Chains A and B, each alone.
Chain A
Amino acid sequence: MFLQAIEDTGFSTWLRESESPFAFYFILLFHTFGLALLVGANAVVDLRLLGVARAIPLAPLKRLFRIMWIGFAMNAVTGILLVFAYPTKALTNFDFYIKLALIGFAVWVMQRLKSEVFEDSSLTEESMTARGAILAKWSLFLWFGAITAGRLLAYTYKYLTFPS
Chain B
Amino acid sequence: MNFAHLHLLLNHFPIIGTMVGLGLFLISLLGKNEDLRRASLIIFPAMALLAIPTFFSGTGAQSAIRKTPGVSEALIERHQGAAMLALLFMEITGALALVGLWKSHGISRPARWNWSLSAILIFSIVTVGLMARVGTTGGDIRHPEIGSGQEEVTEGLMLSKWIHEMEPSPARVADLMTANKWWWAFMMDLHFVGLVLLIGTVGILDLRMLGFAKQIPIDPLHRLVPWAMAGFGLNLVTGVLAFTGMDQYYTYDVAFWLKMLAIMLLGLNVAAFYLTGAFDSVEGLGPGDDAPPLAKFIAATSLFLWFTVITLGRYIQSFADTISVHK
A53:B220 contact, CB within 8 angstroms: yes
Q: Please, how many angstroms separate the alpha-carbon atoms of A25 and B255 in the complex? A: 13
A55:B223 contact, CB within 8 angstroms: yes
Instruction: Please name all residues of chain B whose beta carbon is closer than 8 Å to the beta carbon of A81 when the two chains form the complex.
Output: none
Instruction: Please name all residues of chain A whose beta carbon is closer than 8 Å to the beta carbon of B197 when the two chains form the complex.
Output: 40, 43
A57:B196 contact, CB within 8 angstroms: no
Q: Please, how many angstroms separate the alpha-carbon atoms of A59 and B203 in the complex? A: 19
Which secondary structure characterizes the binding site on chain A? helix
B185:A151 contact, CB within 8 angstroms: yes
* Complex interface: stretch among B117-125, B187-195, B290-298: B187-195
Check A5 for interface membership: any CB of B closer than 8 A: no
Segment 126-164 of A: residues with Cβ below 8 Å from B = 143-144, 147-148, 151-152, 154-155
Check A39 for interface membership: any CB of B closer than 8 A: yes
Q: Please, how many angstroms separate the alpha-carbon atoms of A71 and B94 in the complex? A: 33
A36-B193 contact in complex given A43-B200, A44-B204, C-beta closer than 8 Å: no
Q: Annotate A80-97 by CB proximity to B: 1 below 8 A, 0 otherwise.
A: 000000000000000000
Check A41 for interface membership: any CB of B closer than 8 A: yes
Chain B min CB distance to A107 (Å): 16
Which chain A residue lies CB-closest to B191?
A: A151
B314:A55 contact, CB within 8 angstroms: no
A40-B216 contact in complex given A21-B318, A55-B223, A151-B192, C-beta closer than 8 Å: no
A59-B215 contact in complex given A35-B196, A152-B185, C-beta closer than 8 Å: yes
Q: Annotate A2-32 by CB proximity to B: 1 below 8 A, 0 otherwise.
A: 0000000000000000000100010011001
Instruction: Please name all residues of chain B whose beta carbon is closer than 8 Å to the beta carbon of A148 when the two chains form the complex.
Output: 189
Instruction: Please name all residues of chain B whose beta carbon is closer than 8 Å to the beta carbon of A40 when the two chains form the complex.
Output: 196-197, 199-201, 203-204
Q: Please, how many angstroms separate the alpha-carbon atoms of A33 and B303 in the complex? A: 12
Q: Please, how many angstroms separate the alpha-carbon atoms of A161 and B318 in the complex? A: 19
Chain B min CB distance to A63 (Å): 4
A56-B318 contact in complex given A29-B311, A36-B310, A43-B200, C-beta closer than 8 Å: no
Check B249 for interface membership: any CB of A closer than 8 A: no
- Choice from B188, B203, B217, B315 contacting A29 with Cβ under 8 Å: B315
**Those 4 A-B pairs whose CB atoms lie nearest each other, nearest first:** A40-B200, A55-B220, A60-B215, A63-B213
> Can you report 7 residue pairs joining A to B where beta carbons are below 8 Å apart?
A25-B315, A35-B192, A36-B200, A39-B196, A40-B204, A59-B215, A143-B196
